[in-house]
Chain A
Amino acid sequence: MTLLTVSNLSLSIHGLRILDGVTFSVAPGEIVAVTGESGSGKSMTALAAMQLLPKGATTTGHLMLGDDDLTQMSEAALCGMRGNDIGMVFQEPMTALNPVQTIGRQVAETIRVHEPSVSRAEAEARAADTLTRVGLPQDRFPLSRYPHELSGGQRQRVVIAIAIALRPRLLIADEPTTALDVTTQAQILTLLTRLAREDGMGLLMITHDLAVVADMADRIIVMRKGQIVEQGETQALLHNMQHPYTKMLFDASRHEVNLPAAPAPVPLLEVKGVCRDYHLPRKTLFGAPGTFRAVDNLSFTLNRGERLGLVGESGCGKSTLTRAILGLEQVQKGSITVDGQPVFTGTKPNLAVRRKMQVVFQDPFGSFNPRHRVDRLVTEPFHLLDTPPQGAERSRAIDEALTAVGLRPADARKYIHEFSGGQRQRIAIARALIIRPELILFDEAVSALDVSVRAQILDLLADLCSHYDLTYLFISHDLSVVRTVTDRVLVMQSGRIVEAGETGQVFDAPQHAYTKSLIAAAPVLPDLSQSVG
C-alpha cells in the first residue's frame, strides 16, 4: 500500500526541462528524503506533488495520491486536497506567515476553508490544540500572537501547525530547517518525525543536507539535474553507494582539508574587554532608552598565521563583533587593535589599519555590483591604499589574484552574472586577497554554497594558507566546516565567549554546557567504516 506514487514524472518550464522521468513512492508513516544540490529539481518535485507549479510549467507522467491522479484533477478538486490530504512546510519561516494576521487565525483558516460548517470558536479551539501539539502551548503562545512576536523556530512550528491541522495523509517539508540554528533544527526535526510516526503520515522531506536526513529518513532519494540517480533504504544506501554522484555528495559533505601548521604565536588582532551596546526603544515617552549589550566584555587574541573559528547561533553577537573588528561601528568599552594600532580612532575607522583587513561575506549573489566588470570588482580594496597600482601593475595584480583563486585572467573582463555561486565566492576571495591583507574575516563565507562547491572553496582556503600565510577569523554556524578549517575556535553565546580552545579539543571534549548542546544538536553523517547495518 503506497500513499504517494510518482511515476515517470517529467516537467518543463517554458520548454526548459526541470524534471526527467522521476519515479518514487511514499508509504503511509514513511519518511522519505529527497536530497541533491541546487538545480537538482528536488523543490520542484515537492511543488509538483502539491500541483503548485509556476506559470508555464507542463508535466507528463503521473502523481497518484492513493487512487487519485493529481495531474488529472481540476483546480477546485486540488484546492480541496491541499491542506486537507497534503500539507506543506516551507524553508523560510520568517516570511511564510502572513504578517498582519494572528497565528490563531492562520491555523484556524486551514480548518475553516475545508470544513465550512465548523464554527469560528470550534476552529480556534482546534487550532489551539494543534499549536499545543507542535510545542506552542496556549499559556505562552496564545492564538492572538502575531508572527513578528515569535522566533524563527516558533514560526516554523506555526507553519507546521497550519500544515498538519487537518491531519493530512502526506506532509511535504521543503528544506524546513535550513534557515534555523542547529539546536532549533534538531527540535524541528524531532517534531516532524514524531508527527509522522504518531499520525501514520507520510513525510516527504526535501533537503540539501545529507547529515540531516541520515538519522531520520527511512529512505533516501538522491537527485541530480532533474533525475533520480539513486534511491534506497537509508542504511543500505549509505553503506553501499552505487552512483558516483552519491559518493561525491557524501564525501563533500564531510570534506576535510589539511592546514599547514600555524607559526609561533605573535599577536595580530587583539580584542580586549569589548562591549557593544545598542539602544532599545524608549519604554515611556520621556524615559531614558534602555540598552541591549550585543557584545559583552569580550576578549581574545588572534595570532599571526593562525586560523581562528567563531561559532554561535543567530543573535549571539557574531555579526556585531565582525563589524566592530572592521571598524564599521564604534564600541562602548574596550579596545580592538591590529598590530597594536586601534581599528577605530575618534569617530572614524583607522584607515591605516583598515587596509590590513578584508572580509568575505555569505551571499555570493548580493555582494557584488552587477554593473561592474570583475576587474573593477576585485580592485575595489585599492581605494584603501595611498598609491594604488596603475596600468600594467594593476593588471598583474588582478591576474595574480584571479589565478590564485582558480580563475583565469581572461575572466577579468566578464560581468558577475556570468559566474556560478562558487565562482562568485572565489571572486570575493580574490577581492579580499588583492591587497595582501594581514587578516581576512570570513563571515559565513561558505554557508550559501552547495556541498560540492563548498568542498572546493575549503580546498582553496587550505591551498591559500600554504601559499599566502593567511590569518583569518572564520565565522560560521556550521560546526563541521569550522572544525576542518581552523586551528582554534571560540564559542559565543549571548555576547560572551563561553569556551575557547584548540578546535579538535573543543569539539571532542567540550567543557561548557552550551558547547555540548551545540555539538549534540549538529547533524552528523554516520561513520561508514563501522559494520554494515
Chain B
Amino acid sequence: MLRYALKRFLSLLISLAVASLVIFVVIEVAPGDPASFMLGLNAQPETLAALRSELGLDQSRPERYIEWVGGMLQGDFGTSYTYRTPVTEMIGDRLWVSVPLALYALFLSVVVAFPAGIYAASRRGRAGDIGVMGATQLGVAVPNFWFAMILVLIFSINLRWFSAGGFVGWDKGLFAGLHALTLPAIALALPQAAILARVMRSALLDVLGEDFMRTARAKGLTARQALWRHGLRNALIPVLTIIGLQFSFLLAGSIIIEQVFYLPGLGRLVFQSISARDLIVVESVVMLLVFSVILVNFLVDLAYAAVDPRLRART
C-alpha cells in the first residue's frame, strides 16, 4: 500500500513539473505584451522598457520560468500587472469562495446521486428506474445558468429565502457563508448529480450481473443485502473516477455560475485577468487549477486502492 502511494506521489510530482512547463510555454507564445497593453497604444518606448524591466519581462525565458516556479514553491505567485497586488493574496481570497462552493456542490451531488442511482439500479426497467433516468436526462440537458436563474426567481425574488447574489464572507459565520453559497451550489450540483446518478446506476448494474453476486444470493442473502454488501463497493471504482473529475470541473468550471450570482470566485478572476492580459495571474490560477486536478487524481488513486485490494498488490 505504501509503495503504491509513493509511486502515485512520484507520478504527481512529475505531472506537476510537466504541467508547469506547458503552461509557461503556452502563455509565452500567446500574442500580446502585458506592458504595452497596460500603457495603451500611445506609450513612449522608454516608459514601456522601464515597465517591462519592472515586471521582469526583459529577462530570458528560462530565467523567468525558474523564477516563477521557485516563487510558487515558496508561496509567492508574483505581483499582478494590473492590480499591483500580490497574486497570492488575490488567489487566496478567491479560494475561500471557490473551494467551499465546489465541495458544497460535490456534497449535494453525491447525496442526491448515490440514492438515486442505487434506487434506479435495484428497480431496473421498472417505473422507479424509468422515472429516475428521465429526471437525470433532464438534469443533464438543462443548462445550469438557466437553472440558476430559475432558482433565483423562485427562492430569492418570490420566496425571499436566499439573497440573489454576492457573498457575505466567512467572518459573518459559517451558516451565513453556507447560506449564501446554497443556491449556486444547487445550480452547480444539478447536472453533476444527474451524471453521477447515471454512472452509479450503470456501474451497479454491471456488478449485479457478476458471478459473485449469484454466489452471494446462493448463500442466502436477499437481493437487497447482496446489493449493499457486495455490489456497492465493487461499483465504486467508476463512480470515484467521475467524482474526481467533477471536483476539478466544479473548481474551475463555475465561471458562469459565479457571474450569475456575483460571487468573487476563481472563475471570475481568470476571466477578468484574461481580459486584462494579466498573464501572471492567469498563469498562477491555471497552475493552481492544474495542481488541484492532479492532487484530486492522486487522492482518487489512493481511494481506488482503499476500495480494491487488487490495486494494492499490483502497485
Contact = CB atoms under 8 A, between A and B. Distances in A.
30 contacts: A75-B222, A76-B222, A79-B220, A79-B221, A82-B217, A83-B218, A84-B220, A87-B218, A90-B211, A90-B214, A90-B218, A92-B211, A95-B210, A95-B211, A96-B212, A96-B215, A97-B215, A98-B212, A98-B215, A99-B309, A100-B307, A100-B308, A110-B219, A113-B220, A113-B221, A146-B310, A146-B313, A159-B215, A162-B219, A281-B314
Contacts of B315: 281
A526 B306 CA distance: 52
B315 to A, nearest CB: 6
A449 interface: no
Nearest to B309: A146
B123 interface: no
B16 to A, nearest CB: 18
Given A83-B220, A285-B3, A149 B313 contact: yes
Contact of A100 (B7, B217, B219, B233): B233
B212 A95 contact: yes
B6 interface: yes
A50 B222 CA distance: 13
Contacts of B220: 79-84, 110, 113-114
B223 to A, nearest CB: 8
A211 to B, nearest CB: 25
Interface string A61-96: 000000000000001100111111001101010011
6 closest A-B pairs by beta carbon, nearest first, are: A83-B220, A83-B219, A95-B211, A88-B218, A82-B220, A98-B212
A79 B222 contact: yes
Contacts of A97: 212, 215
Interface string B1-34: 0010011001000000000000000000000000
Interface string A281-325: 100010000000000000000000000000000000000000000
Contacts of B219: 82-83, 109-110, 113, 162
Residue in B216, B218, B225, B308 with the greatest tally of chain A CB atoms within 10 Å: B218
Nearest to B315: A281
B228 to A, nearest CB: 12
Nearest to B213: A98
Contacts of A95: 210-212
B218 A50 contact: yes
B179 interface: no
Interface residues of B, number: 28
A162 B217 CA distance: 12
Given A90-B218, A114-B220, 16 more contacts: A79-B221, A79-B222, A82-B217, A82-B219, A88-B215, A88-B218, A90-B215, A95-B210, A95-B212, A97-B215, A99-B310, A113-B219, A146-B310, A162-B215, A281-B315, A285-B3
Interface of B: 3, 6-7, 10, 210-212, 214-222, 225, 229-230, 233-234, 307-310, 313-315
B218 A163 contact: yes
A52 interface: yes
A60 interface: no
Interface in A146-162: 146, 148-149, 159, 162
A79 B219 CA distance: 8
Nearest to B308: A100
A369 interface: no
Contacts of B3: 285
Nearest to B220: A83
Nearest to B312: A146
Interface of A: 50, 52, 75-76, 79-84, 87-88, 90, 92, 95-101, 109-110, 113-114, 146, 148-149, 159, 162-163, 281, 285
A125 B170 CA distance: 54
Contacts of A159: 215
A525 B220 CA distance: 37
B11 to A, nearest CB: 12
A199 B230 CA distance: 29
Contacts of A114: 220
Nearest to B233: A100
B225 A113 contact: yes
B217 A52 contact: yes
A101 B218 contact: no
Residue in B6, B10, B307, B315 with the greatest tally of chain A CB atoms within 10 Å: B315
Residue in B212, B233, B234, B307 with the greatest tally of chain A CB atoms within 10 Å: B212
A100 B218 contact: no
B234 A52 contact: no
Nearest to A84: B220
A285 B309 contact: no
A454 to B, nearest CB: 25
B195 to A, nearest CB: 24
B236 to A, nearest CB: 9
A354 B224 CA distance: 54
Nearest to B223: A75
A114 B225 CA distance: 13
B272 to A, nearest CB: 44
B299 to A, nearest CB: 19
Nearest to A146: B309
A403 B230 CA distance: 51
A148 B230 CA distance: 16
Nearest to A75: B222
B41 to A, nearest CB: 56
Nearest to B211: A95
A156 B211 CA distance: 13
A14 to B, nearest CB: 13
B212 to A, nearest CB: 5
Contacts of B215: 88, 90, 96-98, 159, 162
